[in-house]
Amino acid sequence: MQSIGIIGVGSYLPEAIISNAEIGYGAGVTDEWIVRKTGIRERRRAAPHEATSDLAVVAARRALARAGLTADQLAYVVVATSTPDHPQPATAALVQDRIGAHRAAAFDVNAVCSGFVYALKTVEKLLRGAADDEPRYGLVIGADIYSRIIDYSDRKTAALFGDGAGATVLGPVAPGLGLGRISLVSRGDAHHLIEVTAGGSRRPPSPDTVAQGGHYFRMDGRGVRDFVTRTLPYEIGQALRRAGVPADAVRHFVPHQANGIMLADIWPDLGLHRAALHLTLERYANTGAASVPVTLAEMDRQGAADPGELVVLAAFGGGMSLGIALLNWSMGARGDAAAAGAHLRAAEADHPAEDTTPHLLTAGDRVSPLAP
């Protein structure tokens, strides 16, 4: 079957930079406390006029430009988000309309912070099964605006989240490149660890749900940490074993950017001794479903991976859900840099350029500098 891989990436982080000092004031904590507990120093916040679809559209256009494609070549537009513009229609439908992907089917995926990997597998399977006369390209976007659902007096969550969007274009790649095994795991018995309890059919919006704070994001931090510590190393090991890939073959590890200190603590247990750990949370915090594709876009901008190098993506979030994807890096392998550059210049003419200062925290064969 045709190999499907990532042929374009792009991201958008809102302009407003929110410091730990600003966050800490309302939550009753200091900058030093936030850095020591999370490794986060700042995050981005969407402007009042920006919704999740607005962030997703800019990231999508940048990913298409990097791939050298136009939106009318897409068969699918999928947005992974747990902070949609509104309950319906799907945020993906708004993105599809604004980028001009009129031939594409559009739908959302909500697996909270694991949503991007869930959407990645969905679109990869759809493209593999496409008929010969059907388009073979799909757009997978992770986008969230958590600043709209965070209680900034809650010290357990106030500092953790930022807003952003990351997008990837999937399409045919050469044999030996692209997506390999993708494992999805759900542990519904732990669904209570992360939740927004009001706003749905069980607790519809009302003055009481607003007064009770039912529309805010709530998390059992200790329970989530225990879940990730117990589950992530095992599931990564299982994914590698089932794919017949030794851990030493992995060159890059891109995790969900939940908490830098937690990730540094778990890192030795993953057995990925020859891999670089890629973290962007110091500057962007946890951007929900966007955190993995945002980090992939940073990797691409910095040329951090070579074609064919094995990358492991790992996302985890509410539900509880977890997704592991094995990816043989295919960016830079198509020989169309000139075309991609032309599309990129056209896209940037209409949309402000994002900050390209290197933010990627990677240390070759060593753990990120966030480690103790």
Which are the catalytic amino acids? 113, 256, 286
* Beta pairing, strands 105-109 & 74-80: parallel
- Measured distance CA(92)–CA(79) in Å, rounded: 5
C-alpha distances (whole Å) from 119 to each of 79, 90, 123, 365 are 8, 14, 6, 30
C-alpha distances (whole Å) from 225 to each of 194, 221, 228 are 11, 6, 5
* Beta pairing, strands 74-80 & 137-145: parallel
At 19, is the secondary structure helix, strand, or coil? strand
Q: Torsions phi, psi of 115, nearest 5?
A: -60, -35
Q: Torsions phi, psi of 36, nearest 5?
A: -65, -35
CB 72 within 8 A of CB 101: yes
DSSP string, 257-280: -S-HHHHHHHGGGG--TTSEEPB-
Contacts of 193 (CB under 8 A, 6+ apart): 219, 220, 223, 224, 227, 318, 320
Tokens of 29: 């904590």
Place of tokens 């949609």: 84
Task: Kindly report the length of the chain.
Answer: 372
